[in-house]
Amino acid sequence: MSVLTTNYLTPTGREEAWRFTPLKRLRGLHDGLAIQSDRETLITKGALPSGVSFVRENLEPLASSDDVIIERVRGAATSVAHLAIAANTELAEPIFLGRSAGALDTAEFSRVRITLGTHAVATVIVENTTDTVLAEDLEIYCAPGSNLKFVTLQEFESKSVYTARHHAVVDKDATFKSITVTVGGDVVRILPTVEFKAPGASADLLGVYFATAGQFFEHRMHVDHAVPHAKSNVNYKGALAGKDAHTVWIGDVLIRAAAEGTDTYELNRNLLLSDGARADSVPNLEIETGEIIGAGHASTTGRFDDEQLFYLMSRGIAMADARRLVVRGFFNEIVSEIGNEEIQTRIMDRIDTELEKAAHHG
């Protein structure tokens, strides 16, 4: 593809897509001032089973993007890290990808592709654990009849800046389920987006995030129903604690005129655990046809439910333990969907730690 090397429109913060993001903390990812490193840190953990390959190659983007950082990534990255799962391959065990190397003085611009062949079934887990500056264009193609569970764990160290688009193209009768966990980093901005290619496709987009003092986590969903009889479900849950903890959840769902028989629901719930934190939650449902099965959205932001705490404490459970139970319970609905005991325990323990930290700092 030809790349325009000029005329990237640097966001000013007044654009709808950027109005919440603290641009000054993006370490130059958005305005071209970041120094590009040539590191390619995404690796696979363990040997790959048969039917699965992981290579760096040149691939055209699957879909266009109007995100300026994604455009910069496409201009800068020289190859695509491509995980391919061959048609009819059914994997019982998850494939682990991860980034555990990085740097803060330079930025990595990374393109990633995950391809599921026809009727392939797989779980892919991406573990991000380092301190780094990373802009990522991650695209997924689910071929007809395939089934992908895609788990991303943002467990970055505290100074990391991560901006990404996780874009899935879901073909006929394919099932895509993502679980996005964001618990670490200074600024994390993810665009989990889905487009349906043919009828019978479905997408389940789940996520949890926990921001403590000073952290900014943004999840900006976009689900494009352009074909008939596709199904989508979005459920993101967040908790915030500490001064200037800030989360943003935008849920854009577009049901185009052709998308008859669409069934969609999106939900975002936020738990404010202290003063001084801010949760923005904006569901947007745009409907161009009335011939649908269902379309709904809900968004709630609240504090601890006093009645829940009272009930637990009336059974002898101390306040701090009662709070921990309620927060764990709040996240459990989604974390338990990961389906990997070790990771679920790790994420829940991390949430406990964040909660404890928050309690100590008020």
Partner 1 sequence: MSTLEIRNLQVSVDTDNGTVEILKGVDLTIKSGETHAIMGPNGSGKSTLAYSIAGHPKYTITGGSVTLDGIDVLEMTVDERAKAGLFLAMQYPVEVPGVSVSNFLRTAATALRGEAPKLRTWVGEVKDAMEALNMDPSFATRNVNEGFSGGEKKRHEIMQLELLKPKMAILDETDSGLDVDALRIVSEGVNRAKAANNLGVILITHYTRILRYIQPDFVHVFANGRVVEQGGPELAEKLEANGYADYVSK
Residues that bind partner 1 (CB under 8 A): 305-308, 310-319, 321-322, 325-326, 328-333
Give me 355's structure tokens: 């909660």
> CB 248 → partner 1: shortest distance, Å?
24
In the complex with partner 1, which residue's Cβ is closer, 50 or 314?
Answer: 314
> CB 299 → partner 1: shortest distance, Å?
17
In the complex with partner 1, which residue's Cβ is closer, 66 or 306?
Answer: 306
> CB 314 → partner 1: shortest distance, Å?
5
The three-state DSSP-derived secondary structure of the chain is CCCCCCCCCCCCCCCHHHCCCCHHHCCCCCCCCCCECCCCCCEEECCCCCCEEEEEECCCCCCCCCCHHHHHHHHHCCCEEEEEECCCCECCCCEEEEECCCCCCCEEEEEEEEEECCCCEEEEEEEECCCCEEEEEEEEEECCCCEEEEEEEEECCCCCEEEEEEEEEECCCCEEEEEEEEEECCEEEEEEEEEECCCCCEEEEEEEEEECCCCEEEEEEEEEECCCCCEEEEEEEEEECCCCCEEEEEEEEEECCCCCCCEEEEEEEEEECCCCCEEEEEEEEEECCCCCCEEEEEEEEECCCHHHHHHHHCCCCCHHHHHHHHHHHHHHHHHHHHCCHHHHHHHHHHHHHHHHHHHHCC
> CB 285 → partner 1: shortest distance, Å?
25
In the complex with partner 1, which residue's Cβ is closer, 275 or 321?
Answer: 321
In the complex with partner 1, which residue's Cβ is closer, 285 or 317?
Answer: 317
In the complex with partner 1, which residue's Cβ is closer, 121 or 313?
Answer: 313
In the complex with partner 1, which residue's Cβ is closer, 90 or 321?
Answer: 321
In the complex with partner 1, which residue's Cβ is closer, 198 or 309?
Answer: 309
In the complex with partner 1, which residue's Cβ is closer, 105 or 307?
Answer: 307
**Nearest residue to 192 (alpha-carbon basis) of 136, 119, 265:** 136
> CB 324 → partner 1: shortest distance, Å?
9
> CB 325 → partner 1: shortest distance, Å?
5
> CB 312 → partner 1: shortest distance, Å?
7
> CB 210 → partner 1: shortest distance, Å?
14
